[in-house]
Structure 1
Amino acid sequence: MKREAFIKELKDAGIKLKRHGKRHDIYFNPKTDKKTPIPRHKEIRDTLCIWEFKSSPCSTFTLQ
């Protein structure tokens, strides 16, 4: 999955950018109070995308 599409899905789910790291961006889910590192690659593995959305209460995500 393209990183831009995944970030858009995160933002639509209410997950916000907490800070920029050296190789990852840290996103924060205010509903679950959890922080998650997202790598800065053009393509993100589908397994990572699925894992991230299983850990957050988001019903709008559809893996393409």
Structure 2
Amino acid sequence: VALILLIGAEFAYQWSQPPGPPGPPIGTRLKGFLRGLVVYQELEETEETDGVDNPFRRR
């Protein structure tokens, strides 16, 4: 019963949020997904990730 209440609360929270900006077209998403299965792309560091010690990050 608790799991059902938690799932319901999460669903209600997400439903109440305003819609975000539109994403890229589905074709672009699919190409990026398929490319990501084969090619590893380093993400650029942003201000949020600078200086954060992440043990899983490649150096």
Structure showing greater radius of gyration is 2
What is the TM-score when the length of structure 2 is the normalising length?
0.25
More strand by share: 1
TM-score normalised by structure 1 residue count: 0.24
